[in-house]
Amino acid sequence: MKLLAVAFFLACWGLIGCAPLPPAPPLVEVTSVTELMGRLTSRQQGVSAFQGRGRLTYLSCRQNYSGTGLMQGILPTTLRVDILDLFGGSLLSFYSDGEVVQVFLPKEGKFMEGPATPDNLGTFIPPGMSLPQVVRCLAGDLPLSSGEPSCWSLEKDKEQYLLEWQTATGACQERLWVDARSFHPVRAEWYDSGGSRRFSLELSDYDALAPGRPRWYKVLTYQPDSELRLFFKEFQVNPSLRPEDLLLPRPQKP
């Protein structure tokens, strides 16, 4: 009798384990660009500041590093990043508000401060990206362009909407792919005035840490090439941050 009961339990468990997954929700076909942009922005909610902690890897012809990244940002142009090694030691600290750049390399004992030139920003900001673009990308605040897109379409095979912003001359400035079910941005591309692609961005794993925010990022820049990968383990939207809180502490002189 006990054997029959066990067999019956295992059979039921097998049926439960093989139960089909619920079907994916249908694609949402919007009828206007206003509706599309409304759904996109409503999913993101308002963000003015953020802070997070995650695994960060940066590869470029200028420098490479990988470790724990501590990030704090205040839109539109203030960013602080601290990179830690596997043992919790500091590899790099970076700060900029769009006017000044501060960099601290503790293992080399170097504290540098100067104007926010492309070369100084390049300590952390990938080539081809501006500081405001990096801050907004880390915040998951897309699109980068203002206003409504010049054109849009539903790519049913990819189950995504493609939105494109163009310059006054008709050249492509930004392309943004949005999931046709969740209306979360999944990929973006930015082009310069000559039509060359400057960088691309991939985002995924939304809502895991904060509503409407991705957990995983991948940035690729072109001419020169670089790659930034980031997986957040903690993320907070609109923490109480002041610009002065993000300044790097100056090292004590011996």
Residue 23, classified by CB atoms within 10 Å of its CB into exposed (0-12), middle (13-18) or buried (19+), is: exposed
Q: Give the count of alpha carbons within 13 A of 81, CB side only.
A: 28
Token pair for residue 251?
Answer: 């090292």
Give the CATH H-level superfamily of domain 37-238.
Answer: Lipoprotein localisation LolA/LolB/LppX (2.50.20.10)
Mean pLDDT, 10 residues at a time, the chain of 254 residues: 50 52 77 94 85 96 91 97 91 96 92 95 93 96 95 95 96 97 96 93 96 95 94 96 93 70
Residue 89 backbone dihedrals phi, psi, to 5 degrees: -80, 150
Separation of alpha carbons 19 and 214, rounded Å: 30
Q: What phi and psi, each to the nearest 5 degrees, are found at residue 184?
A: -95, 140
pTM for this predicted structure: 0.87
Q: According to the model, what pLDDT value does residue 251 have?
A: 79
Residues near 37 by beta carbon (within 8 Å), at least 6 away in sequence = 148, 149
| 67 CB-side CA count, 13 A | 18
Phi first, then psi: give them for residue 67, nearest 5 degrees: 170, -165
Type of residue found at 20: P
Contacts by residues 171-174 (CB-CB < 8 Å, ≥ 24 positions apart): 171/195, 173/145, 174/143, 174/144, 174/145
SS3 192: coil
Locate the domains of the chain by residue range.
Answer: 37-238
